[in-house]
Structures are given as C-alpha cells and as structure tokens.
Amino acid sequence: MTRARIQLGRLGEDLAATLLRDKGWEVIARNVTLSRGELDLIARDGDTLVFVEVKTLRTTVDGHGSAPEHAVLAVDGRKQSRIRRLAAEWLAQGRTPAGIAEFRFDVIGVEFDQAPPNCQPRLEHIEHAF
C-alpha cells in the first residue's frame, strides 16, 4: 500500500471518529490489531458496543457521467465475515466495557472527489450494516 493511500485511510478514520464523537458516542479503540487483522474503530453508542468498519475512497465520475461506487459497498460479504471473526476474537479477550447490553456492526464510508485537503469529504454512516 502506498504512503498516500495509508494517509488517506488514516484521514478517513479520523473523520469517522469525529463523526461518532459528534453524535455523542465514545470511541473506545482505534486500529485494534488482532491475530488475523485489524478493527478500524470500536465505539460505544449508549449500551451498545459498535464495531465500525471505515472505508475511504477517492472517487471520480467517469467520462460518461455515471456515479462512482459508494465506499460502503466495498465492504462485501468476505470482508464482513472477517470483521465478525475479529470482533469475536476481541470480545473473547474480555475487553467489553461494563454496561454493554448488545453489539452491532456499522460501516462509515468516506469519499473524496479530489485529493485532500482541496475538497470536502462525504461521509455516509450505515448503522446495523450487517
């Protein structure tokens, strides 16, 4: 992965974490490295623990005027299964905060039409994404 892609991904995660905090959520952990991969964000929404996958894309509209693929659509079934396994591994480590009644999986798509900082990103938050 190129340095520019890593920086774009990090910026997307920063924006996603800010979005969640602005909603009144507590961001518990970021970039959690586990044996088989990484969880982007783990947050608390009231009594719900939320595993958040952040997908950041730089999009363009092709010459025919069709819309680009949405970032959230890039979280396909294979990626969802991997995130579920990682969440189960994290939960098995006993790190769940007190007062959690349930958990869910959200996706936040972050899209840029141009290279940052020359544009405004579009964020799309899908709760209960899978």
Structural domain count of the chain:
1
Q: What radius of gyration, in Å, describes the C-alpha atoms of the chain?
A: 15
Domain assignment of residue 21, given as a range: 3-65+78-126
The pLDDT tens digits for 9-41 are 999 999 999 999 999 999 999 999 999 999 999
Q: Which of 17, 11, 45 is nearest to 29 (CA)?
A: 17
Q: What is the mean pLDDT of residues 98-102?
A: 95
The answer to whether residue 98 sits within a structural domain is yes
Q: What value does the mean pLDDT take over residues 96-125?
A: 88
pLDDT at 61: 53
d(CA 82, CA 72) in angstroms, rounded, equals 16
The mean predicted confidence, pLDDT, of the chain is 88
